[in-house]
Amino acid sequence: MKKTVHIFTIIVAVLVLHSLTMDCACAQLPLLRPTADIAADKVIDEAMRYLGTPYHWGGKTPKGFDCAGFTRFIYGKFGVELAPSAAPQYRAGKKVKDTEIKKGDLVFYGGRGNSKSIGHVGIVTSVDANGFKFIHSATSTGITISSSNEPYYKKRYVGACRVVDLVTSNLPANDSSAHAKIPVYRRAIFTDRFYTPQIPFIAR
């Protein structure tokens, strides 16, 4: 009888030890971050809410946006603060090759008078074999969606940059839902040539 109780005690001890070992192993598993695609979808969903908002030169609120004011407003909601004009936004982001453009990237265009000087910016909403579509604040229509193949934009296209990766770093760990609310845990702020955490943007 004593031998049976002793064996039972050993079995229980082994099971408890195994359970504790598994708990420790699970606790040490790395937290998964949401993918850039999920972050981009969240940014685009937010941007789509403002379709039809009128254009306003220098505008940076839902009462009216200019192009850079719109991109700054949208990304600002996700903890990424961009410069208030298009050219500094282009210099601050990570440059992206034309063949590697993805949803959420910023795309830049030349102004009317000088197609080489950056004067316009939008956010890519979709990409396919023929090009991409982007949401932006146009002077004639306000917030709208245009195609990279439209002649007006095709001849003025300058380049693209990526800031959506910073949105990913601001999302809560293990958030795999494309519809979860995004709290802002820290602010990544872009100035003209670099970004500095937790320092307000100062116009130059």
pLDDT tens column, 144-155? 999 999 999 999
Q: Is 67 a catalytic residue?
A: yes
- Per domain, the residue ranges of the chain are 1-30, 36-197
pTM over 0.75: no
Q: Is 120 a catalytic residue?
A: yes
Would you say 127 and 103 are in contact if contact means Cβ atoms under 8 Å apart?
A: yes
- Of 2 and 123, the structure prediction assigns the larger pLDDT to 123
In CATH, the number for domain 36-197 is 3.90.1720.10
Report d(CA 144, CA 63) in Å as an integer.
15
Q: Would you state the pLDDT for residue 92?
A: 86
Q: Would you state the pLDDT for residue 26?
A: 40
Would you say 108 and 120 are in contact if contact means Cβ atoms under 8 Å apart?
A: yes
Residues 6+ apart with CB under 8 A from 108: 86, 89, 90, 118, 120, 121, 157, 158, 159, 160, 161
Q: Would you state the pLDDT for residue 90?
A: 95
Residue 135 has pLDDT above 70, yes or no: yes
Residue 200 has pLDDT above 50, yes or no: no
pLDDT tens column, 18-69? 444 444 444 444 444 457 788 999 999 999 999 999 999 999 999 999 999 9
Residue 110 tokens, joined: 């030349």
Q: Would you state the pLDDT for residue 55?
A: 97
Q: Is 18 a catalytic residue?
A: no
Q: Would you state the pLDDT for residue 13?
A: 54
Residues 6+ apart with CB under 8 A from 184: 77, 78, 79, 170
Confidence of residue 202 (pLDDT cuts 50, 70, 90): very low
Question: How close are the terminal C-alpha atoms of the chain, in Å?
Answer: 86
Q: Would you state the pLDDT for residue 63?
A: 96
* Catalytic residue from among 56, 67, 161, 179: 67
Residue 203 has pLDDT above 60, yes or no: no
Residue 77 has pLDDT above 60, yes or no: yes
Residues 6+ apart with CB under 8 A from 111: 117, 118, 119, 120, 156
* Catalytic residue from among 18, 136, 161, 179: 136
* Catalytic residue from among 24, 120, 161, 179: 120
In terms of Cα–Cα distance, which of 136, 129, 81 is closest to 101?
129
pLDDT tens column, 160-175? 999 998 886 555 444 4
